[in-house]
Amino acid sequence: MHIKVVNNQVERAMRELKRLLIREGLFKELKKRRYHAKPSVKTKVKREEAEKTRHKDRKRAAARARNFL
């Protein structure tokens, strides 16, 4: 990863780096690996995240269907 600092704007470069790391999923990965989690807890979290994703997808599909008509 490379972030260029233009005109000595370090704050802007930091924001770009943070945005890039969030997009890549590194913050979520670091949070997940911070502590040991039992396999049962990992399974539960994975199931909850999948449900959130399905819910978001259903909402997006419904919004697209409304806009299409």
Residues 29 and 53 in one domain: no
Residues 41 and 60 in one domain: yes
DSSP string of 2-26, one letter each residue: -----TT-HHHHHHHHHHHHHHHTH
Residue 35, SS3 per DSSP: coil
Residues 45 and 65 in one domain: yes
The pTM of this model reads 0.58
* Residues whose CB is less than 8 angstroms from the CB of residue 24 and which lie 6 or more positions away in sequence, other chains included: none
Interval 38-60: pLDDT, tens = 999 999 999 999 999 999 999 99
Residues 7 and 31 in one domain: yes
Confidence of residue 69 (pLDDT cuts 50, 70, 90): low
Residues 47 and 68 in one domain: yes
Interval 1-49: pLDDT, tens = 788 899 999 999 999 999 999 999 998 899 889 999 999 999 999 999 9
Residues spanned by the domain of 48: 36-69
